[in-house]
Structure 1
Amino acid sequence: MTRPYAEVIGDPIAQSKSPAIHGFWLDKLGIEADYRACHVRPDELAAYLAARRADPLWRGCNVTMPHKQAVIGLIDEVAPPADVIGAVNTIVPAGDGRLIGTNTDAAGFLEPLAHALAQTHLFRMARIIGTGGAARAIITALGQQGFTLVVAGRDPAKARALLDELAPTGEHHAIDLAHFAAPTDFAFDDRAGILDLVVNASSLGMTGQPPLAFDWSHAPPGAIAYDIVTAPRDTHFLKAARAGGHPTIDGLAMLIGQAAIAFERFFGAAPPRQHDHQLRAILSQ
């Protein structure tokens, strides 16, 4: 390889859409560089980073499952907001052989919610499903935006620990994932002036994974359904939400948003976001 490059690492990695996103932007901007996927198993992570430190053409990498927390002990600095989130999804070389990790997931997640978050609300509540690396970023981001959080996981104790660590103020709740699977006859109060979210921050519903069992009787009218899963783009969770009259946000929104921040760090240029519609069409094929 004779020109600069960045990449995404994970295990597995074949399903990643990041090469298509960054490749699209590189082509639009005419930048002579590459972005590729690199399959790195957990026992190969240290060797991978050691090799990249010595490569002058390497501009950094995105980090996906299951490495977002494991890389922290293998890099030199964890910059905000990754230091608070406790998960790294972007690593860049500092130019002196040092590696700096950050997190673009939180900002990418919030991007499609910008209009709603710009409004004033009497109350904000988010039901978050999942306790992994992406959930850490989402819990942190929504906690900082004044949401009361309900985090559901297979292990409620882990969900509670995440809340205590990442959103220590506020009356947040941790529950068993199974709570949302069965119908409820809970009578929601007047939601005027209230912003409600239901977020799938897990891999449930992803191709090859079990579906997410969420009964929409647990969500008040008008609650926004947000699924971070990107394959398939239109998950059963989102289809069921639409059938119930809920607005939806798919995983491509967060994926493109977080990639845009990383792209600028890797290649020193802002991505051409005016082409997002075309990019989404490509990614949906």
Structure 2
Amino acid sequence: MTKAFVVGHPIKHSRSPLIHGHWLKAYGLDGSYERIDVAPVDFGEFLSGFHAQGYAGGNVTLPHKEMAFLGVARRTQRAQRVGAVNTLWVEDGVLWGDNTDALGFIGNLDATLGIGWEQDVETALVLGAGGAARAVVAGLQDRPLKRIFVANRTGLKAEDLARDLRPGSSVPIETAAWEALGRVVPHAQLIVNTTSLGMAGQPPLAIDLSRAPRNAVVADIVYVPLETPLLAAAAAQNLRTVDGLGMLLHQAVPGFRRWFGVTPEVTPDLRALILADLEAST
């Protein structure tokens, strides 16, 4: 039996076991996927020992993604660009790390908007400069956009992100002052919130979408609530919206394929399963 895991601290609210458990059952595979709570002080020991405990690999969530990046022996190019690891496996005795958040974000856009959506997007505006923002920007760099703006309440973090991700990309990355978002919004055909603003228990994201292009898409990686105040404001302006649940589902695909040898599909049934769990927990 193949065993995999998600490791974090705390971890009890992770929905990854529900996602992978659904796929294991759907494809009739002999495997397991479990939550493992590991405190930061013990993570290095866990990282070096999980394979000996019979695990093929697993997912890494907060607060361990940066520690996993530093602790693996080899990293994919994606993980190197993002500076964080969320997927682990052992290959020929070597511990590898990948970051599938970029694939999850882009996969969600492809599934929601349709293949070729980027043909209508010249400029993207990414709000935030943390790990999730780095993954989103890295994913967008693989599409033929003209430019990407990054805005963060702490401007220096936006500058750091732009500096780190500019090399090797044909898509220019520029920074925008948080106070000057009103000057960027009219030029952005894609607006992405990667901050915690709008999440349950957090203040809403204050941004005026009334001057956004009529064909603009507004995406939020937050999925609790599923319709954030930002997405509600976008819908009120008749703009297309993309919620954050799809990113969670699509980022899980590469790891499952790596550990269990089957490429799973993100289906309406899976989405309905996770939505039901979200509703039951609120």
TM score, norm. by length of structure 2: 0.86
Which residue does the alignment assign to 2:150?
Answer: 151
Q: Which residue of 2 aligns with 1:163?
A: 162
**How many pairs align?**
271
- Secondary structure of the corresponding residue to residue 9 of structure 1: strand
Instruction: Go from structure 1 to structure 2 and tell me whether the alpha carbon gap of 1:270 and 1:123 turns closer, same or farther (over 3 Å shift).
Output: closer
Q: Does the aligned pair in 1 maintain the 2:199–2:222 contact within 8 Å?
A: yes
- Distance in 2 (CA, whole Å) between partners of 1:228 and 1:119 is 18
2-structure distance, mates of 1:159, 1:119: 26
Aligned pairs for 1:171-190 (under 5 A) are 171-180=172-181, 184=182, 188=186
Change beyond 3 A, Cα 1:186–1:264: closer
| RMSD over equivalenced CA pairs, Å | 2.4
Q: Which residue of 2 aligns with 1:253?
A: 246
Whole-Å separation in 1 of the counterparts to 2:117 and 2:165:
24
In the alignment, which of 90, 94, 115 is matched to residue 93 of structure 1? Answer: 90
- Is 1:64 matched up with 2:61? yes
Alignment counterpart, residue 280 of structure 1, candidates 247, 254, 271: 271
Please tell me whether residue 208 in structure 1 is matched to residue 201 in structure 2.
Answer: yes
User: What is the aligned-residue identity percentage?
Assistant: 37
How far, CA to CA, are the matches of 1:134 and 1:67 in structure 2? 14
Structure 2: gaps of 5 or more residues: 277-282
Deviation of 1:271 (Å) = 1.2
1:46-85 correspondence to structure 2 within 5 Å: 46-56=44-54, 58-85=55-82
Amino acid at match of 2:97: G
Work out whether residues 29 and 272 of structure 1, in 8 Å CA contact, stay in contact via their aligned partners in 2: no
Whether contact under 8 Å (2:118, 2:143) holds in the other structure is no
In structure 2, C-alpha distance between the alignment counterparts of 1:152 and 1:272, rounded to whole Å = 33
**Post-superposition offset of 1:265:** 0.6
Q: Which residues of structure 1 form unaligned runs of 5+?
A: 190-194
Question: For the structure 1 residues 76 and 247, does the alpha-carbon distance in structure 2 shift closer, same or farther, using more than 3 Å as the test?
Answer: same
Identify which of 105, 108, 123 aligns with 1:109.
105
* TM-score, normalised via structure 1 length: 0.85
Q: CA deviation at 1:263?
A: 0.8
